[in-house]
Structure 1
Amino acid sequence: MRFFTKKYLAALLSFVWVSGFAQQPISVSSPNRSIVVTAQNTPTGEVTYQVRYKGKSVIEPSGLGFVLSKPAVSLKQFTITRVDSSRTDETWKPVWGEVSQIRNHYHELILNLQDKSGSGIGLRVRFRVFDDGVGFRYEFPKQPKLTHFVVDDEKTQFKLAADHQTFWMPGDYDSNEYFYNKTKLTEVDAIAAADKEKDIALKSVIGPNAVQTPLLFKTSDGLYVSLYEAALLNYPVMHLQLDKKTLTLTAQLTPDAVGNKAYLQTPAQTPWRTLIISDKATDILASKLILNLNEPSAIADPSWIKPQKFVGMWWEMHIGKANWAKAEGKHGANTQNVKKYIDFAAKYGFNGVLVEGWNEGWEDWFGNWKEDVFDFVTPYPDYNIDSLTTYAQQKGVRLIMHHETSGSVTNYERRMDAAFQYMVKEGINTVKTGYVGRIIPRGEHHDSQWMINHYQRVAQKAAQYKIMVDSHESAHPTGLHRTYPNWMASEAARGSEFNNAPTLGITPEHTTILPFTRMLGGPMDFTPGLFRFKLNQFDSTRTTVVRTTLAKQLALYITLYSPLQMAADLPENYEKHLDAFQFIRDVPVDWDDTKVLAAEPADYVMIARKEKGAANWYVGAITDENSRDLPLDLSFLEPGKTYDAVFYRDAPTADWATNPEAYVIEKKPVTAKTKLTLHLAKGGGCAIQFVRR
C-alpha cells in the first residue's frame, strides 16, 4: 500500500507570505495528535521550536541556526517567508529486518527562512511529526547568495523541561565504546566517566559537559525520550554540549583537522535531528522513526543481499589461544585451523566463517599512525586462501573477509577496488571492516565529515561488487541500512569483545540499555553466544569473566538484532553444550514481525519475533544484575493453533557470578491463550522457540 496526499496548512497558512504571522506560533501535530511541534519567530528574530507529548512539555522553546565561516555569517535571526505543510501515509518493505513491512505516516511542516543580517541567504527547516516522535532537518536550497559554504557551528538546541534521569556516554569524537551512565542530567561529568574507562584504546573526549547521542531520558512523570539523529550523510556526527543551568543541550559537531565542521555546496541538507517519545518503554524499542527518515534503497536489485549466521576465527585471539600476527607465534589464521572452523560451520548449518589475521601486516598495525600497513590482497604464507575458499565452497560455506584498516583510511580507499576484486575472485561476498586507531588523514576523527563520507563510499563500492558489509569502530548507525541494505551491521558500541577487557568488561545491565540507545540506529554486531565464562582457558593468569548466564547468551540473539549474527565462542566450547547450542543453530536472522513484550532501560527486555516466511516464533528475555520474574502472555501466537515450545532457561541455581552455565531445557505445548512466568537469574535470561504444529 502507498498513498500520498499533500495539502497546505488549512485556513491560515496556504502559501502565505508570513509578514502577518510574525511572532505567532505555527503548530503541526502527529496523525494521532499526541505530539505537537510549535515553531515561532521571537521578537528578537530567532526562530524557536518546542515539542509537547499529550500535553506534557518534552522540549521547551529551543533555538535553531548556524554559524558559517565561509561566508562569515551568523544565521540565527530570520524572517519566516513561507510556511508549507503536507501529509504522508505509505507502507514500504525492507530488504531484510525485524518486520516485513513498515508504515511511514507523518505530518510535515516546512518553514522557509530568510537571514535578517543582510547576507541574502535563505534556508528551510523541515519538521516531520510521527505518532512516535519528531524529526527535523535544515535544507539549503540552491540560491544566488550561497553556493560553497563551510559550517563552523550548528546552533540547534534541545532545552529540557526538567532534570531528567539520563542514560549517557561521554562525548568523544573517536569512540562510542563507553558504558552508558545513568544519572540526573545535571550530574553529567564526562571527564570523570571517561577516566574510569581504562580499556578503550583511543579517546578524544570533548569536555566535562559533552555527551554523545543517542541519549535516553526518563522523566519523573513517566515519559521516555530518545534524542538521536537519522540519515547521517556528508556531515559530521552530532554530539551535544550541556548547559546545566538552563538544562539546554546544544549541537557539538565533530571537527576536522583545522576545526571546521562541514564543507557543503547547495543544494544541501543536514541529517535529521530526532526525538522518539512515548509513555511506554516498549514503544521506544518498537519505533521505526529512524528508518522512515532515511531514503529508500539505492540498490535496484538487492536479491543478492542475504542475512546470515557465521562462526569465526576471532575469539581465540582475544582469550590467548592464538594471535593475529604470524611473527608473534600461535598464528590463528593458518590453513589447518581455518579448515576446522569450516568443518564446524558445515556440520552445524552456519553460512560463513570469519577469518581475522589472514593477511600480512599485523606485526606493524597498531599505534604507529602508519600510512601503508595492509594491502588487503596478500595472505600470510601459512594461509592458503585458494584452497580454503574451494574447500569452503565444497562444504556449502563461504569465508568472510576481514579488512582492518588500522585507521589508515586513505590507504584503504586507494586499495578498495583491488581488495573487493580479490574477494570476488575468491568467491567471498561479505567483509568485516575495522578502524582501530587514529585516523589517516591525520587530524580527522572517526566521527568527522570525511569519515562519514568514507563509510558511505565503502557501502557504495561494496554494492558494486555485490558485497555485504559489517563495519567495526565506525560512527554510530543512523538508519542507513534502509538506503544501503548491503551495509548490514555495525559494531559502533561496547560489544562482546569487551568481556575480555582487563578492568570493566561488560556489566549485566549493559545489554538492557543498548536496545534503548545504540540499537535504535541499526543492527549491532555484538557477537553473542559465549558459552565459557572464565576466560582463563588458555592463559591461567587471566582473571576476567563474562558476567552473564548461558541462557542469557542465547536470548541475546533475539534482543540484540542483527542480520549478520555471529556465534562468537570456540567450537570446542559449543560441543560441550550441544543441547543449548541447538538454539543458536535454529534461531533465524530475518523476521516477518516483532513484538516488544516488556522493557525497562537498565532492567530488562523481552521481545518476540516471527520467523521470515514461517509460522514459528522466538522469544528472548534478559535481565540486569537482579533476578526477576516476567509474565509472558502468548497472545501473539496464531489463535486456535498449538505450538511446541522449547525453553532454554536459567536453572534455579543459576547466577552470573557463581553458576553461569546452569540451564534447563524443557518442552511443552502452548497456545495463544497460554500465560507463563519466566524466572530470570541474576545476569540471566531465557530463550524460547515456538514451532507451530
Structure 2
Amino acid sequence: MKRILLISILLLLSACGAKQQYSLSSPDGSLAVTLALNEAGQPQYRIERNGEVVLKPSQLGVVLDGVDLSRGLAVESVGEPDAVSENYTMLQGKRRQIFYTAKEQVFSFRNTGGVELQIAFRVSDDGVAFQYRFPGQSDDIKVVEGELTSFAFPPGSKAWLQPMAEAQTGWANTNPSYEEHYQMDIDVGEASPSPAGWVFPALFHTPGGWALISEAGMDGNYHASRLQAESPGGEYRIDHPMDAEVFTGGVLKAQSTLPFHSPWRFIAVGELSTLVESTLGTDLAEPAVAEMDWVDPGLVSWSWALLKDPSVNYETQKKFIDYAAEMRWPYTLVDADWDRNIGYEKIAELADYAAQKNVRLLLWYNSSGSWNKTEFTPKGVLLTREQRRSEFARLQKMGIAGVKIDFFAGDGQSMLAYYRELARDAADFDLLVNFHGSTLPRGLHRTFPNMMTSEAVRGFEMITFFQESADVAATHMTMLPFTRNAFDPMDFTPTAFSEIPNIERRTSNGFELALPVLFLSGLQHIAETDEGMAAVPEYVRDYMRGVPVSWDESRFVAGYPGKFAVVARRAGDTWYLAGINGEPEERPLTMDLSFIGARTGELITDGETPRSFNRSEVETGSNVSLSLRGRGGFVMTFPAAGLAKN
C-alpha cells in the first residue's frame, strides 16, 4: 500500500510539472517543515511558523567518500509520519522530568550510482530537527568529506552570534575554546570577524519568530560543526573544524563503517520563552548509558577564581574546605598544579579532612598531549585508556569526587571521541567530570549523567584578566540564557561580591547574586572567597547556602538578548526568581507571576550603592513591579510555607 501511495504521489507531481515536496507539521500545528527535491535533484527544506517564514529554502546533502549526495538525487521512499514520545529524567538542568513529543518522517534518496542517503526530520512544538543517515553495511571506513547543509534567513532577519576562534591561536595555543564575545543584533549575512566562522548555538530573529540553531546526539563518530564565516544573502552554511582540532594523530572529519548517522541539527523556533524553556538539546541526545544514581550536583568553593595560582597550596585549600562546610556546599575544587604544590599524599589528607566536614574534593587535570603549549599539571596522564583508568582508580581510592579537565584541542572527530572516553571511564570510578577550555557539550550531559558542566564560554576568569571583558560583562551575561546556556550546562563560575584585583567590576552585587539561579550548571563554582562571603549580610549568606542546582521546572519571565533577563525556577515547592539588567540605565519591570500562585516571599536586590544589598518582603499571585539598577539584579524566593495569608 505504501509503495502504491508513493507511486501515485510521484505521478501526480510529475503530471502537474511541480517539484517533489512533502510537509511535516508539529503536534500543535504551529510549525511546518517542507522538504522539496528540485529539478536538479537537490534536496531543500524550509520552515514556517504560523504561516510566517523562519527559513527560506535551504540546502541539504553531504559528500560521503567522494560521492556527492547533494544533487542528482531521486526519491527512493517516503516513510509514514510517526509519533515520537519519550519520558526521561535529568539530574541537572531546566527540568528534572521531561516529556518529549514530536513527529518524525524519514526520506530516502538515491543518486544515479545507487548510493543511498536518508534524511530524517522531526518536528516538535518547539522546533525542527534533521539527521543524515548512511544505511547499508561496510567493512571499510566511510568519511564525510563535506556537507552542504545551510540555513537561509529571510531579508531583514537579525543575528546574535559568537565568532569561532582560530585553532592554535591564543594563550599557549589553547584556542578554540568558545570564549569570544557575541556580535549582537547584526544583519544576517554579515561576515564573521574570524575565518573559523560562528559557533553554535546561533540565535536569529526572523519574521516567523526567534530561531536558535545547535546540534545534539554526538555518538563519537562525528565531528562537531559550526557556521561558515561567509553567509551571502543571509544563507549560513555548516562548516567542519579546522585541521588542527584533533587528538594527536587523530582524524578530523566524521567517519565510520556503515551504517552510521550525523548528529541532529536542530532549530528551536518560537518566542523567546520557547527558546529559554526548550529542552531540545537533551531531547535529541542519546539516552543515559547508565542511571548513575551516585551523581550529586551542587555548589563548589574555589580559591583560584580570585586568588589565582598562589592559592593552590595546602593551607588555603583547607580554608576553602572549611568555607564549603560553613556554606553547606558539597564540594571544593583544587585547581592546576596541585600535584606539584600539594602532592598526592597531602591531597589525600585534605580529602580525609573534607570528608569529616561532609565536603568532597574535585581535582584539576590538563587534557593535553602535544596540541598546545600549556605546562600546568597534572598533564599527559589521561591520554590513553590505561593511563586514565589507573589515575581514576587512584582518585576513587582517595575519595575524590570528580575531575576538572582543561585545554582541549577543538571539534575534530577524534577530539569529540576523547570527551566521550573521558566521561565513560570516569563514570566507571564514580567520578564527576567538568570540561574546561572545551567545546559545547551538545547533550553529552544526558548521555553521561556524570558530565556535570563545561566551560565553552567567556566566563568570570576573563573578567579577572581583562578590563575590556569587565566593561561589557553585564551585556555579555544577558546573552547567555538565550544562547550558550539555552541547551547545555555552562561553567561560567559566577558570583563575586568582592573587588577584583586590578579590575573595576561593573556589575552590582545584586547582579552577582542572581547568577547562580540564572545560569545552569551541574557544578556551580562560586567565585567569591571565604573572606568576601563573610563580609556580606547574613541573609545573603543564608540565600547562598540554599541555592539549588537541580530544578523541577523553569520559566522565562522577561528579557531580551544582550539587554536583560529574568527567569523563574522551581526546586521542590519553592520558586526562585533571578533577574539581571545588562544595560547602564535603570530598568522598570512589571512581571506576571500568577503561575506561582498567591505567596509571600523574600526579595533581595541592590541597596543604595552597587556594593550593598536591600531585603524586603514581596507578594505574588499577580503582577509584581520593581526597578532594576543599571547593571543591577535581584533574586526572589517563594517557599510553599510562604502562602499568602490573603
Deviation at 1:90, TM superposition (A): 3.5
CA contact (8 A) 1:358 1:383 kept: no
Structure with the largest fraction of helix: 2
Structure 2 residues without counterparts, runs of 5 or longer? 168-175, 245-249, 372-379, 642-646
Q: Structure 1 CA distance, aligned partners of 2:8 and 2:85?
A: 25
Look up the match of 2:346: 384
Look up the match of 1:570: 529
Look up the match of 2:441: 477
Q: Structure 1 CA distance, aligned partners of 2:228 and 2:533?
A: 46
Which among 39, 42, 48 is matched to residue 46 of structure 1?
42
Look up the match of 2:77: 82
Look up the match of 1:367: none
Give SS of 2:447's match: coil
Look up the match of 2:195: 206
Give SS of 1:213's match: coil
The residue identity in structure 2 corresponding to 1:548 is T
CA contact (8 A) 2:26 2:123 kept: yes
Matched, 1:134 2:134: no
Matched, 1:637 2:623: no
Deviation at 1:616, TM superposition (A): 1.4
Look up the match of 1:304: 294
With the length of structure 1 as denominator, give the TM-score of the two structures: 0.83
Which among 604, 614, 625 is matched to residue 648 of structure 1?
604
Q: Give me the CA root mean square deviation.
A: 2.5
**1:214-263 deviation digits (Å, cap 9, x = unpaired):** 111123x4721111111233222211125544321111111445995222
Deviation at 1:382, TM superposition (A): 9.8
Deviation at 1:100, TM superposition (A): 2.8
CA contact (8 A) 2:62 2:70 kept: yes
CA contact (8 A) 2:35 2:45 kept: yes
Deviation at 1:77, TM superposition (A): 2.4
Look up the match of 1:228: 214
The residue identity in structure 2 corresponding to 1:91 is N
Matched, 1:268 2:260: yes
**1:340-397 deviation digits (Å, cap 9, x = unpaired):** 1111211221111101134346xxxxxxxxxxxxxxxxx6459711221111111111
Which among 136, 152, 166 is matched to residue 159 of structure 1?
152
Q: For residues 683 and 262 of structure 1, do their structure 2 counterparts lie closer, same or farther at Cα, with a shift above 3 Å needed?
A: same
Which among 595, 612, 620 is matched to residue 662 of structure 1?
612
Look up the match of 1:181: 183
Look up the match of 1:499: 463
- Identity among equivalent positions (%) equals 30
Q: Structure 2 CA distance, aligned partners of 1:226 and 1:333?
A: 40
Look up the match of 1:394: 356
Matched, 1:610 2:570: yes
Structure 1 segment 414-425 matched on structure 2, within 5 A: 414=384, 415-425=387-397
Give SS of 2:363's match: strand
Matched, 1:239 2:239: no
Give SS of 2:504's match: coil
Higher mean Cα deviation, 404-413 or 15-24? Answer: 15-24
The residue identity in structure 2 corresponding to 1:650 is D
Look up the match of 1:413: 383
Q: For residues 492 and 561 of structure 1, do their structure 2 counterparts lie closer, same or farther at Cα, with a shift above 3 Å needed?
A: same
Deviation at 1:129, TM superposition (A): 0.4
Q: For residues 416 and 18 of structure 1, do their structure 2 counterparts lie closer, same or farther at Cα, with a shift above 3 Å needed?
A: farther
Q: For residues 500 and 96 of structure 1, do their structure 2 counterparts lie closer, same or farther at Cα, with a shift above 3 Å needed?
A: closer
Look up the match of 1:125: 119
Q: Structure 1 CA distance, aligned partners of 2:182 and 2:190?
A: 11
The residue identity in structure 2 corresponding to 1:355 is V
Q: Structure 2 CA distance, aligned partners of 1:402 and 1:519?
A: 23
Look up the match of 2:324: 345
Look up the match of 2:173: none
Deviation at 1:334, TM superposition (A): 2.0
Give SS of 2:324's match: helix
Deviation at 1:72, TM superposition (A): 5.3
Structure 1 segment 353-392 matched on structure 2, within 5 A: 353-360=332-339, 380-381=342-343, 384-392=346-354
Structure 1 segment 544-555 matched on structure 2, within 5 A: 544-555=503-514
Look up the match of 1:199: none
Structure 1 segment 407-556 matched on structure 2, within 5 A: 408=370, 411-414=381-384, 415-435=387-407, 445-506=409-470, 507=472, 508-533=474-499, 535-536=500-501, 542=502, 544-556=503-515
Look up the match of 1:292: 283
Deviation at 1:147, TM superposition (A): 4.5
Structure 1 residues without counterparts, runs of 5 or longer? 1-7, 192-204, 324-330, 362-378, 440-444, 537-541, 655-659
With the length of structure 2 as denominator, give the TM-score of the two structures: 0.89
Which among 54, 59, 62 is matched to residue 66 of structure 1?
62
Which among 504, 507, 519 is matched to residue 560 of structure 1?
519
CA contact (8 A) 1:19 1:81 kept: no
The residue identity in structure 1 corresponding to 2:73 is F
**1:433-492 deviation digits (Å, cap 9, x = unpaired):** 111xxx6xxxxx411111111111111111111111111111112122111111111111
Deviation at 1:163, TM superposition (A): 3.7
Q: For residues 19 and 253 of structure 1, do their structure 2 counterparts lie closer, same or farther at Cα, with a shift above 3 Å needed?
A: farther
Matched, 1:583 2:583: no
Q: Structure 2 CA distance, aligned partners of 1:158 and 1:56?
A: 16
CA contact (8 A) 1:489 1:524 kept: yes
Look up the match of 2:109: 113
CA contact (8 A) 2:93 2:522 kept: yes
Deviation at 1:128, TM superposition (A): 0.2
**1:153-207 deviation digits (Å, cap 9, x = unpaired):** 111111111242211122335131001111433563433xxxxxxxxxxxxx435
Equivalent residue pairs, number: 607
Higher mean Cα deviation, 251-260 or 25-34? Answer: 251-260
Q: Structure 2 CA distance, aligned partners of 1:592 and 1:74?
A: 43
**1:53-102 deviation digits (Å, cap 9, x = unpaired):** 1111111111211123x345554321110001211234332233322321
Matched, 1:99 2:95: yes
Q: For residues 26 and 382 of structure 1, do their structure 2 counterparts lie closer, same or farther at Cα, with a shift above 3 Å needed?
A: closer
Q: Structure 2 CA distance, aligned partners of 1:168 and 1:334?
A: 40
**1:585-620 deviation digits (Å, cap 9, x = unpaired):** 121111211121112111111111111xx3211110
Deviation at 1:632, TM superposition (A): 2.5
CA contact (8 A) 1:127 1:135 kept: yes
Deviation at 1:297, TM superposition (A): 1.2
CA contact (8 A) 2:251 2:412 kept: no
Which among 612, 621, 624 is matched to residue 672 of structure 1?
621
The residue identity in structure 2 corresponding to 1:129 is V
The residue identity in structure 2 corresponding to 1:672 is G
CA contact (8 A) 2:241 2:410 kept: no
